[in-house]
Amino acid sequence: MNTILAVSAGNIVVWAVWVIAGFACLASGVAVVSFSNPFFSALALIGNLGSLAVLYLLLSAEFVAAAQVLVYAGAVMVMFLFVIAYVGPQQETPWKGGPNWQTVGAVLAAGAIFIEVIVVLGLKAGGRLSHVHSVNATFGSPGWIGRLFLTDHLLAFEITSIVLLIAAVGGVILGEHTKRRDVAVEDAG
């Protein structure tokens, strides 16, 4: 399956899916920053992460695609929506959209990154963009990725786990602190 996808890159279905997913990715990215209602922005971000997962699938990275949907489009974005739905309707949100210096800055930064990508692609590809690379069956499989995590990338993997642990502990401490202050206020009142 993996090799079939990679070898028949000229396959019309693969091209069609690639074009659609790419455009969906860009369009949802623009939608994230242009919707004035944060709930719709968050929904667009889910669409963005989903279309990225499709692009990963085209690169034979099935595990990464599933993890992307499960962790980012699933768990992380649920938290975003949860908070936005709690914060309430859009008049309570700090930024209502419309052009200002943030928009100008965002457009300039996006333009700069776009030019950079084009330049890097031009330098690296050497005038040849259709590079067919065959991959073996274990490429992108969960077992292979796990082996890489525990051999070549062990340090990065462990540091990430410690950073996440610190974040979790920090969250608990912040939550505890708020609760204690509430109790103190109640006692004083």
Partner 1 sequence: MTLHEPWWISLIKAAIIVNLVLVLFAYLTLIERKVMGRMQLRYGPNRAGPFGLLQPIADLVKLVRKEAFSPSSAIEIPYILAPIISAFTALAAFAVIPWGPGWTVHGWRINGEVANVSIGLLLVFALGSIGIYGFIVGGWASESKFSILGSMRTCAQLVSYEVSLALSVLGVVMLGRSLNLSEIVHRQGEFLPFVVPQFVGMVIFFIGGIAETSRAPFDLPEAEQELVAGYHTEYSGMRWGLFQMAEYINLITLSALMVTLFFSGWHGPWGLGPLWFLLKLLGTLFVFIWLRTTLPRLRYDQLMRFGWKVLLPAATINAVVTALVVVWV
Residue 85 binds to partner 1 (criterion: CB under 8 A): yes
Options 22-30, 67-75, 116-124, 169-177: segment touching partner 1 (CB under 8 A): 67-75
Cα–Cα distance, 24 to 68 (Å, whole number)? 16
Report which residue type is found at 97.
G
Residue 70 binds to partner 1 (criterion: CB under 8 A): yes
Query: Rg of the chain over CA atoms, in angstroms?
Result: 22
Out of 19, 78, 112, 164, point to the residue binding partner 1 (CB under 8 A).
78
Minimum CB–partner distance for residue 71 and partner 1 (Å): 9
DSSP string, 96-127: ---SSHHHHHHHHHHHHHHHHHHHHHHHHHTT
Q: Which residues contact 136 (CB under 8 A, 6 or more apart)?
A: 2, 3
Minimum CB–partner distance for residue 43 and partner 1 (Å): 7
Residue 25 binds to partner 1 (criterion: CB under 8 A): no
Return the closest-CA partner of residue 153 out of 64, 161, 80, 17: 161
Residue 55 binds to partner 1 (criterion: CB under 8 A): no
Cα–Cα distance, 52 to 48 (Å, whole number)? 6
Residue 141 binds to partner 1 (criterion: CB under 8 A): yes
Residue 142 binds to partner 1 (criterion: CB under 8 A): yes
Contacts to partner 1 by CB under 8 A: 39, 43, 46, 50, 62-63, 66-67, 69-70, 73-75, 78-79, 81-82, 85-86, 141-142
